[in-house]
Structure formats: structure tokens, C-alpha cells
């Protein structure tokens, strides 16, 4: 549906008449380990370089968000490498938002009452392990953990890594260098120096911190098939279910508010005021321990153009388009990058340089669009979800969706449950807004006309 390029899946290898490349993938996170698999399936020689130790041997994952909401775009990319079912088997479906108001009342807003699609809560570590394990089957994937990219020269295809813990420097070269090294990408830093490279980054005022609602007597303490949200104007808290029946809670608020909470007493007062219903679920002691254990993390949004350098280098995932996490699309968008890239690699007539150029051209508008949408939802989730006008619009959207499922797909649904290009999701929404506005204007004009008619026509006097 998205791009005019036919997607060939699964046995891309057999279809590929392309000479194998030596591909260096920098970063073995979720996007990097998926990209490694995708290239290996097409017969390329893949070297995967990751700064950290092998996550499968690591006990504690130092990283962002313990679990993530996986939706259509991520699922599709996983299906292309034959892993969708394995991942979904242990994922927890979330059918809607469960809103917690300040008094502790709960309201459910189902994501898709028409076709019952849902988000899936998956563990970051688990997903990374599934992707790395699947790579073990390919002798043409070479993994290098504890290798930090230090320096890269695109023209020569040369890279320099620092090994941990020895600090020894090792060199390698490749035909193609793919930066999947996250929001603070070293590969991107090198691209920023190239003339004509547009780049912007924006830190938001909010930081986030993770807390936990543990399982109680081996059970979930809240209904598990929802994404729980506590919208509070300037602050917001969300919770996603985990396989072990706990919830990972993400508290998001301005750094200046975090700074006002210095003691256990401050913290409990704050929670009793804003999140009273969550206190017994988290437990006072655990709340204090987890809150003061870590510092709030920054959130950054990054846009750039282009995503490639000649035929030599490319950036994917957060390296290309880090976004604030409020649409739950960062990973999904990064995985969709792989879908697009590999569909281009399936075109036998394109050179590597042409593939990379087309990738940039076909991707940048959509990547910029989802960064913008995520920023918009930053306001919507903490603020608008409480407003009557928002709920009314949501209700109207749902009704129209129900009556005209092929014609009226609400914004959230087109982003999360279809592969419609992100920029088109926005265009679609603008068109819907315009239509509704016109309908509303006509309806109010009709109302005024009717009232006037009744009043001046003298059939009856108006009683208010």
C-alpha cells in the first residue's frame, strides 16, 4: 500500500542476483539486530558491532524502557524475517487505554472497537534476544560485542573500534556501513559533517523515570490488557504489562518538577496528590527505593536529511529519526525502515548508491511526520485525553469508523494499525478535520436558520 515497490519477502535470497556486499552494522539493538538478519537472508556478509556486552548474557539491561508497545509496522517487519509469531506468542495484547483520573476512577477507551486490533506489550530484552538468536542460524553474520565505534571514514569504508574492557583499538572495513547506533549515533555524527546534511535535535522539558507495579500473589494488580494512563496536565504516568505479571510504569514530567522532589516525604505527598490510586499498587517502600535509585532521563527528537552517504553509509532507526516516545512508534518506525530498505535491495536493477538515494527520498517525509506526530501526542496524552472535546472527537471518529471502515480511519488507528505512510496519515487527518468542520458549520447554520424560522415564523415561541 505504501510505496510503489513490490515487496518480496522470505526467500529474497533466491531472488537476489546482486553481488554480496560486506555490510557492517553498527549497533546491535532492536533495529540493528533486525537489519543484520535482513541482510544475511539475502546472502550478504554481515558484521554486527555492538558497544555493550551480549544482551543474552547480561543480567541487568542498562537501557531505555523495559517494555515497548509493538504495533502493525513492527509486526510486519518481524513477519518478513519469520519471527512475528514467536514474538507475539509471549506478548501481552493491549486493547485500549485505561485512563485513571485523579480520584482513581477508571475509564476505558478501546483502540479499535471495529476490527479489534490492539497494541502488544513486549519486553525489550526478550525481543532483542529473539532477533540475536535468529541470527545464530546464519554463518554469514559475525557478531562483535563490546566494540564501540570510535571513528569512521565513509569514503574509505574504514572503521575504528575501541574494545571493552581492554581499550584495544581494532580496525575493519566494509562496502556498506549501516548506523543503527541509536539517538546519539556516532555514524550520524560523521554524516553531520558532510556538506548539505540537514540536521536538527530538540530536547523536551520533560524527563522520564521508570517505576514498577509488582505482581501480587502471582497476579496482575490491574487489568492487564490495557495501556494504563494517568493524564495530569503537565505530568503523565503510563504503565505497560509485563510477562511476569508486573507493570512497568513510566513517570514523565518536567525536570523542574522532578527537582522539587527531594525527600521520601516530598515523594509520597506528590504521589498522594496526583497518583493516589497507584501508591498501594507500587507500594510505598518500593516507590521510594525505585524513584531515588535512578535519575530522570532526557528525551530527544532528531530529524535529518539525507540518511545516506554515497554508496557507503546509511543510518536507520533512532540514529536517523529519534522521537519522543508518546506515540509508541520509535521502534515500529525503525523496523519499518528495514522493510523499505530490503524491498529496495530486492530490485535487481538498482545499484547500491541508487538504493540508498531512493531510501532517503522515500523515507524522509514519513520519518519527519512521525517525529512531529510523536511531539503532538506529547501534548495530547497528558492533556487532551482528559478534555471533553477530545473524547467527543474520539467518539465521533469511532462512530464514523464503524459506519465507514474503509473510508474513515482515525489518525491513531492509521498510524498504529496500518502501514499507511506516516505523512499520508497526517494528510488524511487534515482532510477529516476539514470535512468535520464543514459539516459542523453547515449543521450550525441549519440550526440557526431553523430557530429563526420557528421564531419569526411564529409557529411557536422559543422556550429555553
Applying CB under 6 A, among 135, 328, 410, 421 the residue interacting with ligand FAD is 328
CB of 196 to ligand NAG, least distance (A): 7
CB of 110 to ligand FAD, least distance (A): 18
Applying CB under 6 A, among 21, 46, 50, 212 the residue interacting with ligand FAD is 50
Q: Which is nearer to ligand NAG, 297 or 360 (CB)?
A: 360
Q: Which is nearer to ligand FAD, 112 or 432 (CB)?
A: 112
Backbone angles phi, psi at 240, to 5 degrees: -120, 140
List the beta bridge partners of residue 248: 212, 240
Q: Which is nearer to ligand FAD, 327 or 408 (CB)?
A: 327
Residue 198 contacts which entry, ligand NAG, ligand FAD, none (Cβ below 5-8 A, type-dependent): ligand NAG
CB of 316 to ligand FAD, least distance (A): 7
Q: Which is nearer to ligand NAG, 126 or 305 (CB)?
A: 305
Q: Which is nearer to ligand NAG, 305 or 376 (CB)?
A: 305
Residues 72 and 48: beta-carbon distance below 8 Å: no
Residues 46 and 141: beta-carbon distance below 8 Å: yes
- Using CB under 6 A, which residues numbered 258 to 317 contact ligand FAD? 317
Burial of residue 49, with CB atoms counted within 10 A of its CB: 0-12 exposed, 13-18 middle, 19 or more buried = buried
Give the torsion through C-alpha atoms of 141, 142, 146, 150, to 10 deg.
-90
| DSSP structural state of residue 276 | G
Burial of residue 278, with CB atoms counted within 10 A of its CB: 0-12 exposed, 13-18 middle, 19 or more buried = buried
Residue 305 contacts which entry, ligand FAD, ligand NAG, none (Cβ below 5-8 A, type-dependent): ligand NAG
Q: Which is nearer to ligand FAD, 25 or 355 (CB)?
A: 25
Examine residue 140 and tell whether it contacts ligand FAD (CB under 6 A).
Answer: no
- DSSP letter string, 169-236: EEEEE-SEEEE---TT-HHHHHHHTSTT-EEEEEEEEEEEEEEEE--BTTB-SS-SSEEEEEEETTEE
Give 372-431 as a 3 state SS string. Answer: HHHHHHHHHHHCHHHCHHHHHHHHHHHHHHHHCCCCCCCHHHHHHHCCCCHHHHHHHHHH
Applying CB under 6 A, among 72, 140, 186, 301 the residue interacting with ligand FAD is 186
- Using CB under 6 A, which residues numbered 223 to 262 contact ligand FAD? 250
Burial of residue 105, with CB atoms counted within 10 A of its CB: 0-12 exposed, 13-18 middle, 19 or more buried = exposed
Give the torsion through C-alpha atoms of 347, 352, 356, 361, to 10 deg.
-50
CB of 357 to ligand NAG, least distance (A): 12
The residue of the chain with the least Cβ separation from ligand NAG equals 198
Residue 12 contacts which entry, ligand NAG, ligand FAD, none (Cβ below 5-8 A, type-dependent): none
Residues 282 and 212: beta-carbon distance below 8 Å: yes
Instruction: Say whether 152 sits in a helix, a strand or coil.
Output: strand
CB of 450 to ligand FAD, least distance (A): 48
Q: In this chain, which stretch among 48-56, 302-310, 344-352, 448-456 interacts with ligand FAD, using CB under 6 A? A: 48-56
Backbone angles phi, psi at 328, to 5 degrees: 60, 35
CB of 365 to ligand NAG, least distance (A): 10
Applying CB under 6 A, among 220, 270, 305, 390 the residue interacting with ligand NAG is 305
Set of cell numbers at residue 303: 530529524
CB of 451 to ligand FAD, least distance (A): 49
Q: Which is nearer to ligand NAG, 255 or 305 (CB)?
A: 305
Give the Cβ contact number of residue 200 at 10 Å.
11
CB of 172 to ligand FAD, least distance (A): 12
Q: Which is nearer to ligand NAG, 85 or 198 (CB)?
A: 198
Cα–Cα dist 244/33, whole Å: 25
Examine residue 28 and tell whether it contacts ligand FAD (CB under 6 A).
Answer: yes
Residue 64 contacts which entry, ligand FAD, ligand NAG, none (Cβ below 5-8 A, type-dependent): ligand FAD
Cα–Cα dist 400/394, whole Å: 10
Applying CB under 6 A, among 85, 115, 133, 198 the residue interacting with ligand NAG is 198
Applying CB under 6 A, among 157, 334, 410, 421 the residue interacting with ligand FAD is 334
Examine residue 201 and tell whether it contacts ligand NAG (CB under 6 A).
Answer: no
Angle between helices 30-41 and 72-80 (to 10 degrees): 40
Instruction: Say whether 275 sits in a helix, a strand or coil.
Output: coil
CB of 3 to ligand NAG, least distance (A): 19
What is the contact surface with ligand NAG in residues (CB under 6 A)? Answer: 198, 305
What is the contact surface with ligand FAD in residues (CB under 6 A)? Answer: 26-32, 49-52, 64-65, 68-69, 148-149, 180-182, 186, 208, 250, 317-319, 325, 328-332, 334
Amino acid at each position: 500500500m505504501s510505496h510503489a515497490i513490490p515487496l518480496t519477502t522470505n526467500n529474497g535470497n533466491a531472488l537476489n542476483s546482486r553481488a554480496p556486499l560486506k555490510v557492517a552494522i553498527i549497533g546491535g539493538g532492536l533495529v540493528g539486530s533486525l537489519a543484520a538478519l535482513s541482510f544475511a537472508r539475502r546472502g550478504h556478509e554481515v558484521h554486527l558491532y555492538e558497544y555493550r556486552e551480549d544482551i543474552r548474557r547480561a543480567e541487568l539491561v542498562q537501557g531505555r524502557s523495559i517494555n515497548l508497545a509493538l504495533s502493525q509496522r513492527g509486526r510486519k517487519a518481524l513477519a518478513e524475517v519469520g519471527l512475528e509469531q514467536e514474538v507475539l506468542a509471549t506478548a501481552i495484547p493491549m486493547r485500549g487505554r485505561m485512563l485513571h483520573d485523579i480520584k482513581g476512577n477508571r475509564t476505558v477507551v478501546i483502540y479499535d472497537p471495529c476490527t479489534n486490533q490492539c497494541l502488544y506489550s513486549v519486553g525489550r530484552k526478550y525481543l532483542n534476544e529473539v532477533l540475536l538468536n535468529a541470527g545464530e542460524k546464519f554463518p554469514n553474520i559475525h557478531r562483535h560485542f563490546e566494540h564501540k565505534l570510535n571513528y569512521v571514514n565513509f569514503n574509505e569504508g574504514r572503521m575504528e573500534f575501541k574494545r571493552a574492557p581492554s581499550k584495544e583499538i581494532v580496525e575493519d572495513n566494509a562496502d556498506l556501513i549501516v548506523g543503527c547506533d541509536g539517538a546519539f549515533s556516532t555514524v550520524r555524527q560523521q554524516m553531520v559533517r558532510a556538506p548539505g546534511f540537514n540536521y536538527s535535535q530538540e530536547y523536551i522539558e520533560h524527563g522520564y523515570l521508570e517505576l514498577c507495579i509488582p505482581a501480587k500473589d502471582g497476579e496482575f494488580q490491574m487489568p492487564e490488557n490495557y495501556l494504563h494512563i494517568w493524564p495530569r496536565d503537565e505530568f503523565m504516568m503510563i504503565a505497560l504489562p509485563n510477562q511476569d505479571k508486573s507493570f512497568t510504569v513510566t513517570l514523565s514530567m518536567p525536570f523542574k518538577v522532578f527537582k522539587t522532589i527531594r525527600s521520601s516525604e516530598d515523594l509520597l505527598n506528590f504521589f498522594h496528590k496526583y497518583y493516589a490510586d497507584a501508591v498501594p499498587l507500587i507500594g510505598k517502600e518500593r516507590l521510594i527505593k525505585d524513584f531515588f535509585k535512578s535519575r530522570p532521563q532526557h528525551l530527544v527528537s532528531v530529524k535529518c536529511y539525507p540518511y545516506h552517504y554515497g554508496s557507503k553509509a546509511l543510518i536507520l532507526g533512532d540514529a536517523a529519526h529519534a522521537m519522543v516516545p508518546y506515540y509508541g512508534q520509535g521502534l515500529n518506525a525503525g523496523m519499518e525502515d528495514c522493510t523499505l530498505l530490503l524491498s529496495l535491495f530486492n530490485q535487481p536493477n538498482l545499484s547500491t548508491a541508487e538504493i540508498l538515494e531512493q531510501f532517503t527520498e522515500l523515507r524522509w517525509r514519513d520519518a519527519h511526520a512521525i517525529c512531529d506526530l510523536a511531539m503532538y501526542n506529547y501534548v495530547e496524552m497528558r492533556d487532551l485525553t482528559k478534555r471533553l472535546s477530545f473524547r467527543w472527537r474520539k467518539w465521533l471518529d469511532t462512530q464514523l469508523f464503524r459506519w465507514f471502515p474503509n473510508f474513515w480511519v482515525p489518525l491513531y488507528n492509521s498510524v498504529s494499525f496500518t502501514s499507511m505512510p506516516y505523512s499520508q496519515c497526517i494528510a488524511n487527518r487534515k482532510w477529516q478535520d476539514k470535512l468535520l468542520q464543514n459539516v459542523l458549520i453547515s449543521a450550525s447554520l441549519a440550526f440557526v436558520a431553523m430557530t429563526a424560522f420557528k421564531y419569526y415564523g411564529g409557529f411557536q415561541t422559543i422556550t429555553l
